Chain A
Amino acid sequence: MGWLEPLLLTIITASTPLLLAAIGELVAERSGVLNLGVEGMMIMGAVCAFAVAVQTDNGFLGVIAGALAGAGLSLIFAVLTVSMATNQVATGLALTLFGIGVSGVIGDGYVGVDRSPLPRLDVPGLTDLPFIGPVLFGQDALVYLSFALVIGVTWFLRRSRAGLTLRAVGDNHHSAHSLGLPVVRARYLAILFGGACAGLGGAYLSLSYTPFWVEEMTAGRGWIALALVVFASWIPWRAIVGAYLFGTITILQFHAQGAGIGIPSQLMSSLPYLATILVLVIISYERTRARANTPLCLGIPFVADR
């Protein structure tokens, strides 16, 4: 069992940024908005979190800054796509390019700066428990936050009135509008939440996963988060399954290589993606059930009837 504990710890680290970004995007998409700018919002979160953490020497403020930076960038997206009804796909792509570019400028003075990782939770007595201790009670705050967010979003979408409004807006914005539901406000808030979560995912990368800043350090994780939302078929708890499946395969293939198991490494590197495609095929095979949670207005701009 000695090998299992470090393995689990690495898997949690690899999966957390994906889960954070995916759960935010899931909420945005449930409101009917497809934001392809996740990668850009993540990288902005990463650079702002690192810059603030270094300047103030306070990781907590860094995390807040990361969330705010992600939300700030998503506000641009919200103004363009919701208020001005621009094409969501094109705007989202532009947002990613914009985020990558701006983050490089902001991070210019922080290349080559080292920082110690975010503090880990230490519950006296519990953290010292063999095996369970370090895995369950020895993570940093963002790991617990990622699970709390999934639980919160599940409750919000299923049980709360505001969640019902959000789903109604995502499924049929014209009906929702004629019922007097605040379509524009719901989408603004959903987009901002998505941006903040992507920013948190970025903050996790630059403060905990690899606590330094280098340009383009998200390395495509925003795109994986986008795929995970579809993988989860817009159901929050499935995002955990997707993110952890992805993280697990990534880590396991490294261990397999290190142990000298003779499978070509290129094939192993592509395994997480192959697994995602496979699951996509499986879930879309069951058409009616899988589509039950698809927001019908996803990607369609809303222009109020006069």
Chain B
Amino acid sequence: MKKLLVAAAVLSLGLATANAQEQVKAAWVYVGPIGDFGWSYQHNQGRLAVEEALGDKVKTSYVENVSEGPDAERVIRQLAADGNDIIFTTSFGFMNPTAKVAAMFPDKKFEHATGYKRSDNLGTYSARFYEGRYVIGKIAGRVSENGIIGYIGSFPIPEVVRGINAFKLGLESVRPSAQIKVIWVNSWFDPGKEADAAKALIDQGVDILVQHTDSPAAMQVAEQRGIHAFGQASDMIQFGPTAQLTAIVDDWSVYYTNRVKAVLDDTWAADDTWGGFSAEMVKMAPYTNMPDDVAAEARETEEAIRSGELNPFAGPIYKQNGDLAVAEGEALTDEQLLGMNWYVKGIEDKLPE
């Protein structure tokens, strides 16, 4: 009897796998708390959008606050063993653990954000946030009164340096004389320090704040001090009703929905996605607190980037030291962008080594 039951169980399990496409189990691994109102929060919004779009065809789960060490592998392995069909790991530091677990579970699908290791069942994805940074550079150049812009950076890694460069190129295109002051807080998430850096920049005379850190602290300070700022990761308008010009919003909902759908339809294949405006991975919050003609220009710029007519990193671009990085008629390749560890000409900050 017992054997029979086991056999039945095995059989039904087999059937369940064969029919797995009726319902997909999808899981997410977050590096931070979903209440960070930044990176992990937006990935979780994406997960909720998948639930919304696919209803009972999908069953989602998530693990938050997973540190980028040995813990990550344990968590990912557990999720795979629990029968999840597809697992999204959403931080660069999860790359090696994800690759390891993907090799152990060849019939499961894995997607790793911002990494570069791929295999038959491991894809990667990321977003071209720099497209948004080019747009806000133009806005800053038009809106700033004194032409001094404050920029709060997290860590001097290619992702952030690329953002500063894209911002500078956008800024330069409308106001070559503008100056950027950069402060590195050496943290992705410390609201107090972000606020301190914002205050230091304002005390030094900047009249627009750009941030590449996750909390709304800088926006709040800008609002209190009566200057303008750009939001990061989420629309932060409630923290700066008169301060926010726009925000670069991470939007993973379309991507996640498509990928989970692909698993449902059995069309999923591991690949590498690096999408921007056109893939709807990067969105701009409404253009507010600026003159209409500036907003119109911003919309045109956004549209031009979306259609491919404008490439923020089209040549000629010179490095800070005067070397030519890319000649006229060409543009920086994705590979060059991914490894960007140099400033463009005209940025006065010295890039920490």
Q: Which residues from chain A sit less than 8 Å from chain B, CB to CB?
A: 3, 6-7, 10, 13-14, 17, 104, 107-108, 111-114, 117, 205, 209-217, 219-221, 250-251, 254-255, 257-260, 262, 264-266, 269
Expressed in whole angstroms, the Cα–Cα distance for A220 and B238 within the complex equals 27
Asked if B199 contacts A10 (CB within 8 A), the reply is: yes
| Contact of A114 with B203 at beta-carbon distance under 8 Å, contacts A104-B35, A209-B195, A215-B33 already known | no
Residues of A within 8 A of B193 (CB): 219, 250
Known pairs A255-B200, A255-B203, A258-B183; list 17 more (Cβ under 8 Å). Answer: A3-B203, A10-B196, A10-B199, A111-B41, A112-B37, A113-B238, A114-B216, A205-B192, A214-B189, A214-B216, A216-B36, A217-B191, A254-B196, A257-B349, A260-B181, A269-B184, A269-B186
Quote the shortest CB–CB distance from A133 to chain B (angstroms): 18
Closest B residue to A212 by beta carbon equals B216
> What mask results when residues 18 to 31 of chain B are scored 1 for a CB within 8 Å of chain A, else 0?
00000000000000
Within the assembled complex, what's the spacing in Å between the Cα atoms of A59 and B84? 45
Residue of A nearest to B203 (CB): A6
Are A258 and B189 neighbours in the complex by a CB distance under 8 Å?
Answer: no
> Contacts of A257 on B, CB cut-off 8 Å?
182-184, 200, 349
Interface residues of B in 317-353 (CB under 8 A from A): 348-350, 352-353
Query: Is A260 a contact partner of B196 (Cβ separation < 8 A)?
Result: no
Q: Quick check: B200 and A210 within 8 Å, CB to CB?
A: no
The residues of A that contact B37 with a CB separation of less than 8 Å are: 111-112, 214
Contacting B199 at CB < 8 Å: which of A6, A214, A215, A259?
A: A6
Dominant secondary structure of chain B at its interface with chain A: mixed
A10 to B196: give the CA distance in the assembly, Å: 7
Given A104-B35, A112-B234, A215-B33, verify A258-B190 contact (CB < 8 Å). no
B220 in the interface, Cβ–Cβ < 8 Å?
Answer: yes
CB distance from A262 to the nearest CB of B (A): 5
Residues of A within 8 A of B166 (CB): none
Which B residues are in CB contact (< 8 Å) with A17? 192
Interface size class of B (residues with CB under 8 A): 35 or more
Q: Does B187 contact A (CB under 8 A)?
A: yes
Asked whether, in the complex, the Cβ of A214 is within 8 Å of the Cβ of B352, the reply is: no
Residues of B bordering A, CB below 8 Å = 32-38, 41, 150, 156, 181-187, 189-197, 199-201, 203-204, 215-217, 220, 224, 234, 238-239, 348-350, 352-353
Bound form: Cα–Cα A217–B234 in Å: 17
Minimum Cβ distance to chain A for residue B36 (Å):
6
How many residue pairs, one in A and one in B, have C-beta atoms under 8 Å apart? Answer: 122
A255 neighbours in B (Cβ, 8 Å): 200, 203-204
Alpha-carbon distance between A304 and B38 when the two chains are bound, in angstroms: 51
B36 A215 Cβ-Cβ under 8 A: yes
A217 close to B215 (CB less than 8 A): yes
Checking A114, A221, A264 against B353 with a beta-carbon cut-off of 8 angstroms, the contacting residue is A264
Q: Are B349 and A221 in contact (CB under 8 A)?
A: no
Distance A212 CA – B224 CA, assembled complex (angstroms)? 13
Q: How far is the CA of A13 from the CA of B200 in the complex (A)?
A: 12
Contacting B33 at CB < 8 Å: which of A104, A113, A250, A254? A104
How distant is B206 from chain A, measured CB to nearest CB, in Å?
8
Instruction: Give the distance in Å from the alpha carbon of A111 to the alpha carbon of B182 in the complex.
Output: 28
Which residues in B have their C-beta under 8 angstroms from that of A211? 220
Among candidates A111, A221, A254, A269, residue contacting B200 with C-beta atoms closer than 8 Å: A254
Query: Within the assembled complex, what's the spacing in Å between the Cα atoms of A183 and B117?
Result: 60
Using CB atoms, name the residue of chain A closest to B40: A215
